[in-house]
């Protein structure tokens, strides 16, 4: 860890281990900010702050009044696990090999439908460059208490250094008194599965006959039911947001906390989730700063999931590594890039469970250019998990019956054009493909160049097929077997201070990509979370048992135990 981070760690530790200064208040701006992520699943900006009043969202409306609404925020993939790998690393999933959905384990629904579905698809983990860490590790090294409640889904097993706690009980309330926190709460009630027939029905806030339908859907009872359930789930989610705000207010921490609300990709209905349109990649993003800063404003900056981790580090006063794909758009180190990524959001669609797609898309916030590298597929690809939604079969039927309206051409198509271009301002549902329109050719050419630059720069691993080749040549060469991170090297010295024994310990690993965590104990029953090793540390002589784990993302961990001072 750079010297800057070690110094910041000491400063932050002093802040929360020392008694508060006389006169310190809950709104003291000299203290490091708490940071709260409120992440919801499978939801487009179908909420009040974005002009959709189908169901009331009073808590999100409040968050918008007191914060900043970002109008152009995008996921890096229209499905959760690849998108979440970008959130936690600040890297495009096509660069680190996490673009194929569920690269570590098969979909149960796909296997139930076809036991041979994964016959030629290996299980593996993504592998970022050696300099990449899951960003909460940097926050923990700087003194933050980091919790995740509770979904991860990163396409790799995260090192033990990432979270103080990740579970259904993880909460910022469990930190040491005065310690700054970074806390993630994930709401699953808006997930696509919550519109399945077997899912619990939330209280009806809007009836099926009253919901607005996207023009690409047929107007059927099953479609209306799925859309209504989606909106009713959003209404319940809004109450969950209110609960999280109330917790901060009750603890007198609201004005010490930056709140970031977003969805992990677009709506969980067909032609949303798993699709490279605004409905699949555009997400709500609301940021509330303490003390009314920029309250009630809107921001048109194009923001991508790769930016979220760097922005969170920047809010905490930690300078993100410039080699990350993401750009901090918040905090001390916020800036705009000068290369092809400035003002553009990129996304990919690859394998979804056992069915392959391969689309790449770029948006400048208004105009979207998409390249379909597999054209002999319908837009609504066959996905066993999604087929639990009754409306899916009705969309499949349009491929035979034909579209009922011009806007349904994508639903009825059995093949796709190689290129697509949409104006989301004039055509918010992106149903009018303008790729051959003369007046847009210059803009199309520019976005095409941007997309090609992104594919080349990231070394897009989605083109390395079959996946067995990807694993053998890129992820785990040369035999496709997962390597084990080298064990830690432990250097210790002993001294006496005030008549008591103190060990000075230094931990290193020969793999520069390894995170190093450690735990201490008076015996081999180690307690508490793993600590982040980012330099030499001192251990009281009564805590002689040391357990160390090293892990590079994508590799197996190594665990070492030792008795400080020997037998």
Residues 6+ apart with CB under 8 A from 507: 488, 489, 490, 491, 516, 518, 533, 548
345-349 vs 359-363, strand pairing mode: antiparallel
Tell me which residue of 289, 312, 294 sits closest to 27, measured CA to CA. Answer: 289
| 7: annotated active-site residue | no
Contacts with 259 (C-beta within 8 Å, 6 or more apart), sequence order: 36, 38, 63, 67, 245, 248, 286, 287, 288
Cα–Cα distance, 98 to 92 (Å, whole number): 8
DSSP SS3 for 552: strand
Structure tokens at 259: 């709140």
Tokens of 128: 């970022």
Distances (CA, A) of 334 to 121, 311, 329, 466: 40, 7, 5, 39
Burial of 432 (0-12, 13-18, 19+ CB in 10 A): middle
Residue 423, token pair as written in the block: 């104006």
**Active-site residue identified among 80, 134, 276, 509:** 80
Quick check: 444 and 421 in contact, CB under 8 A? yes
φ/ψ (deg, to 5) at 394: -70, -30
What are the residues whose beta carbons fall under 8 Å from the beta carbon of 246, sequence distance 6 or more? none
Q: How many CA atoms lie within 13 A of 556 on its CB side?
A: 7
Handedness of CA 19, 24, 26, 28 (dihedral sign): negative
- 85, 175, 476, 500, 534 from 543: Cα distances, Å: 36, 22, 38, 12, 19
Cα–Cα nearest to 301, from 260, 347, 334, 258:
334
Q: Which residue's entry shows tokens 């901090």?
A: 328
Structure tokens at 48: 């009040």
Number of C-alpha atoms within 13 angstroms, CB side, residue 91? Answer: 30
Q: Is 112 exposed, middle or buried (0-12, 13-18, 19+ CB in 10 A)?
A: exposed
Classify the C-alpha dihedral 403-406-412-415 as positive or negative: positive
The C-alpha atoms of residue 325 and residue 345 are separated, in whole angstroms, by 11
Between the alpha carbon of residue 147 and those of residues 96, 252, 436, the distances in Å are: 24, 19, 49
- Both tokens of 243, joined, read 């609960």
Active-site residue set: 80
């Amino acid at each position: 860890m750079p010297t800057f981070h070690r110094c910041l760690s000491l400063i932050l530790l002093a802040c929360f281990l020392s008694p508060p200064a006389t006169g310190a208040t809950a709104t003291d701006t000299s203290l490091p900010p708490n940071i709260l992520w409120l992440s919801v699943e499978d939801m487009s900006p179908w909420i009040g702050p974005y002009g959709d009043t189908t169901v009331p969202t009073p808590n999100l409306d409040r968050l918008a009044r007191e914060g900043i609404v970002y109008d152009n925020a995008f996921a890096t993939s229209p499905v959760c696990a690849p998108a979440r790998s970008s959130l936690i690393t600040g890297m495009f999933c096509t660069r680190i090999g996490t673009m194929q959905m569920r690269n570590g384990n098969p979909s149960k629904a796909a296997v139930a439908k076809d036991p041979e579905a994964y016959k030629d698809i290996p299980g593996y983990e993504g592998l970022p460059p050696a300099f990449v860490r899951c960003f909460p590790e940097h926050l923990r090294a700087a003194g933050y208490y980091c919790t995740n409640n509770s979904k991860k889904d990163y396409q790799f097993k995260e090192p033990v250094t990432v979270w103080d706690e990740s579970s259904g009980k993880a909460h910022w309330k469990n930190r040491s008194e005065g310690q700054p926190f970074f806390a993630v709460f994930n709401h699953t009630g808006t997930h696509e599965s919550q519109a399945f027939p077997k899912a619990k029905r939330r209280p009806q806030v809007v009836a099926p006959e009253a919901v607005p339908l996207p023009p690409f859907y047929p107007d059927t009872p099953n479609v209306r039911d799925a859309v209504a359930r989606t909106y009713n789930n959003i209404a319940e989610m809004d109450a969950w947001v209110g609960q999280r705000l109330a917790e901060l207010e009750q603890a007198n921490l609201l004005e010490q906390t930056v709140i970031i609300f977003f969805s992990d990709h677009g709506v969980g209905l067909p032609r949303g989730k798993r699709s490279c349109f605004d409905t699949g990649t555009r997400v709500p993003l609301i940021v509330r700063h303490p003390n009314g800063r920029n309250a009630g404003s809107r921001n048109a900056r194009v923001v991508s999931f790769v930016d979220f981790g760097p922005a969170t580090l920047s809010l905490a006063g930690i300078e993100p590594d410039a080699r990350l794909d993401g750009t901090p758009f918040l905090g001390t180190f916020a800036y705009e890039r000068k290369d092809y990524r400035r003002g553009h959001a990129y996304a990919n669609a690859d394998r979804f469970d056992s069915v392959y797609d391969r689309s790449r898309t770029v948006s400048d916030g208004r105009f979207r250019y998409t390249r379909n590298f597999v054209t002999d597929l319908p837009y609504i690809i066959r996905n066993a998990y999604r087929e639990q939604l009754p409306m899916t079969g009705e969309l499949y039927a349009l491929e035979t019956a034909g579209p009922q309206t011009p806007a349904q051409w994508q639903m009825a198509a059995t093949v796709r054009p190689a290129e697509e271009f949409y104006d989301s301002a004039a055509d918010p549902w992106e149903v009018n493909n303008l790729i051959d329109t003369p007046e847009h050719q210059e803009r199309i050419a520019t976005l095409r160049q941007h997309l090609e630059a992104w594919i080349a720069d990231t070394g897009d691993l989605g083109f390395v097929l079959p996946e067995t080749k990807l694993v053998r040549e890129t992820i785990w060469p040369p035999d496709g077997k997962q390597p084990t991170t080298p064990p830690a090297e432990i250097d210790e010295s002993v001294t006496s201070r005030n008549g008591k024994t103190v060990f000075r310990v230094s931990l290193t690993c020969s793999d520069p990509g390894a995170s190093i965590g450690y735990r201490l104990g008076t015996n081999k029953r180690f307690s508490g979370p793993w600590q982040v090793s980012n330099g030499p540390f001192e251990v009281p002589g009564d805590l002689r048992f040391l357990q160390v784990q090293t892990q590079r993302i994508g590799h197996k961990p190594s665990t070492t135990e030792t008795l400080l001072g020997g037998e």
